[in-house]
Structure 1
Amino acid sequence: MHPDIHLPLHHARAAELEAEAQAPRPVRPRQAHHLRARLGWTLVEVGLRLATRPGTAAAVP
């Protein structure tokens, strides 16, 4: 085995990894919908906490 064989192997693996990184990743619609819904409910929860905090206009009777 030639001592410099590792260099072409590293180059080949680097090219494979770069091609994999450049390839577009498909986003499954269900997964994207789940993320949007979760983010939406998190924003609602934060808004409710801010609105019901003492001293805010919504908390004053």
Structure 2
Amino acid sequence: MHPDIHLQLHHQRAAELQHEAAEYARLPRPASRHLRTRLGWTMVELGLRLAQHPPARPARIA
């Protein structure tokens, strides 16, 4: 492919992506994003607690 054609296609695709990004930025965002984030981090914290090994207990001598 000729370099000038490749550069022209690159500029055309970049313009298309910028147009799509501008359209996406105009979309309304859901109000529940904060709750969703808090729930996600709570699940991560719970998973980390479950993955921890139980504390070592001293041996009992009978």
Q: Which has the higher contact order (CA 8 A, sep 6+)?
A: 1
Normalised to the residue count of structure 2, the TM-score between the two structures is 0.44
TM-score by length of 1: 0.45
